[in-house]
Structure 1
Amino acid sequence: MKKLVFIYSVALVFFGCKSEKEPNDGKLNVVTTTTMITDLVKNIGGDLINVEGLMGSGVDPHLYKASEGDVSKLVNADIIFYNGLHLEGKLIEVFEKMGNKAKTPVALADELNKDYLIGSDYFASNYDPHVWFNIHFFANFAKKVTDVLVEKNPENEEQYKRNMHAYLSKLTMLQKKLAGIMKNLAKEKRILVTAHDAFNYFGDFWNFEVVGLQGLSTATEAGVQDVQKLASFIIEKNVKAIFVESSVPKRTIEALQAAVESKDHDVAIGGTLYSDALGDAGTVEGTYLGMYEYNVNTIVNALK
């Protein structure tokens, strides 16, 4: 019965029906998927728009399924921003069917030059979707969000562009600050071992070798051989610490630590990193800028 209700709700999206809960304050109603995109859109749109994010802190976008409440938000949306590259795998069918309607969802990663993306056999797009760890790519996201908001709401163009330039300046300052922190970590120690392979763009950007236990998608499972192979790698490279991710169960990393210790070698759990989701709302880690700086500090302090 619940499945039938959900199917009916999804059908409302395709036929463009409006929910009675639609805000009627004259502002654009914007729906976002991941917490990173939600934070970005709020920075660009400010008080000029209504923003509702589908995913919260610690939510894994790889496994996320739309609820009936999500469908209602989508029905009310004037704009829908999502990452794309099949990051939000369970939502793709909904977005693709909505693509034929007036309010086409905006896949921000479509704006990126594919020549600079990292290939992947795990995703239908054939690209690693964790592009927000390249700060320049996230700046491109900001520009695309601004363009779409201006197109839908041209009377507020000046304010949207002002907000965008302010945010781009913050991204530039963040990059400079993190470059200073990275100087404290020798190149031979820049080996990042995490629960899944979400940090490849981070690795490219900051010159790290990145190894994920579960591969690019958390939908894949790490087997005993995967754990043993990575344990041997950690010992060979004398890696000092490995990292849990906030959106991935920590049992996989704990199993890896136990495998290393079974070979008479010690490796610490260096802390929890934010990969596919930001921290709790209202905290420093609950923003893209704060999350990124927190991750870098955690990594450098654990590995140096």
Structure 2
Amino acid sequence: MKAYQFGNSAIRRFMMTLAFLAVSILALSGCGMDPGSTDSGKLRITATTGMIADAAQHVGGDYVEVTGLMGPGIDPHLYKASQGDVRKLDHADIIFYNGLHLEGKMGEIFEKLEERKPVVAVASKLTESQLLGNPASTGEAVHDPHIWFDVKLWMSAVEVIRDTLAEKDPAHAEQYAANAEAYLAEMEKLDAYAREQIASIPEKSRILVTAHDAFGYFGKAYGLQVTGLQGMNTMSEYGSKDVSELRGFLVEHGIKAVFIESSVSSKSIESVIEGAKKLGHEVRIGGELFSDAMGDKGTPEGTYLGMVKHNVDTIVESLK
């Protein structure tokens, strides 16, 4: 897990939070609550991010009840589990999380719970060669966790979910396999669409600038140079030097559009725009991208397929 520098008071608060959550888990597990399937016979699944919850619902279909912890606009890097979240985790038959230290603050909770139920990292099948490094890492978090932005890599996550459900509920394994096959086919189409659309941007304009460095896999998969003001983890702070360097990058490359993110404050990127303006270079906000969280429920962007398509279309419209 990545080592972050905190003051003594912050460390004490963090340890107290972990202790509270651990006690909550033990208390809940001793309340006589049935951690098995629901009265309807459906498997209870709790997923950390919206992207994982969406995949679990597609694969599980009518045989699962899926609860997602992190809704629209929520930054998983900064997320702290509440007592209500602990209950949802405790009542689940299966817990799915991203892994790669995306949910770093929940690591100890997962360790406690996996003694009693499947707690599965959807990134578990990816190999070292498929993962991008994290150059800012000083600890265990040596990989970029934003794997969902390469649709091909995210297909592996769907396969992990499929196999886990089949093992837990073999009676419906065939249905899980069929559901996964249909969803994977849609993802294949999305991957092809992204490649075709990004290729339509003039090569010199394929430069994506965002608030934090979440789009590395996207850039590698679809042929974009990607840079962000903050590092891969939004807990990392940025300073005047970072703003100055990014401002200079915009001016040097003649970049006309940068992008804000739904789960990250736009304040940081706006400071870069202002800095470029003072140098006589006009930069506009090309649109809002969904990075660490999906859009509102009931909207196209509230699904994984919809959020990726939205990002592709927004990028192409602004850079083409």
Tell me, yes or no, whether TM beats 0.5.
yes
* CA displacement, residues 105-151 of structure 1 (integer Å, 9 cap, x when unaligned): 10111210111211114452310000011111111111110000000
* CA displacement, residues 46-105 of structure 1 (integer Å, 9 cap, x when unaligned): 111011011101100000010010110111111000000000111112112323x13131
Shift of residue 13, structure 1, vs aligned partner: 6.1
Distance in 2, matches of 1:202 and 1:16, equals 45
Identify unmatched segments of 5+ residues in structure 1. none
Partner SS state of residue 230, structure 2: coil
Q: Give the alignment partner of residue 68 of structure 2, picking from 21, 30, 53.
A: 53
Pair 1:83 & 2:98 matched: yes
Residues 16 and 75 in structure 1, CA contact (< 8 A), matched pair in contact too: no
Pair 1:258 & 2:274 matched: yes
1:293 alignment counterpart? 309
State the TM-score, normalizing by the size of structure 1.
Answer: 0.94
Shift of residue 7, structure 1, vs aligned partner: 4.7
Distance in 2, matches of 1:64 and 1:220, equals 14
1:105 alignment counterpart? 119
Shift of residue 267, structure 1, vs aligned partner: 0.6
Pair 1:161 & 2:204 matched: no
Pair 1:244 & 2:248 matched: no
1:92 alignment counterpart? 107
Pair 1:203 & 2:210 matched: no
Partner SS state of residue 116, structure 2: coil
* CA displacement, residues 251-294 of structure 1 (integer Å, 9 cap, x when unaligned): 01111111111111101100100000000010000011110010
Matches within 5 A, 1:35-184: 35-99=50-114, 101-122=115-136, 124-184=140-200
Residues 46 and 69 in structure 2, CA contact (< 8 A), matched pair in contact too: yes
Distance in 2, matches of 1:233 and 1:180, equals 27
Pick closer, same or farther for the CA change 1:179–1:61 going to 2, 3 Å: same
Shift of residue 188, structure 1, vs aligned partner: 1.2
Q: Aligned letter for 1:168?
A: L
After superposing the two structures, state which structure 1 stretch, 284-293 or 113-122, moved more. Answer: 113-122
Partner SS state of residue 216, structure 1: coil
Partner SS state of residue 124, structure 2: helix
Shift of residue 26, structure 1, vs aligned partner: 1.5
Distance in 1, matches of 2:318 and 2:97, equals 33
Matches within 5 A, 1:266-281: 266-281=282-297
Partner SS state of residue 95, structure 1: helix
Residues 14 and 98 in structure 1, CA contact (< 8 A), matched pair in contact too: no
2:8 alignment counterpart? none
State the TM-score, normalizing by the size of structure 2.
Answer: 0.90
Shift of residue 211, structure 1, vs aligned partner: 0.4
After superposing the two structures, state which structure 1 stretch, 226-235 or 109-118, moved more. Answer: 109-118
Distance in 2, matches of 1:16 and 1:173, equals 47
Q: Give the alignment partner of residue 8 of structure 1, picking from 23, 27, 36.
A: 23
Distance in 1, matches of 2:265 and 2:34, equals 36
Pick closer, same or farther for the CA change 1:107–1:4 going to 2, 3 Å: closer
Identify unmatched segments of 5+ residues in structure 2. 1-15
Residues 244 and 253 in structure 1, CA contact (< 8 A), matched pair in contact too: yes
Shift of residue 236, structure 1, vs aligned partner: 0.3
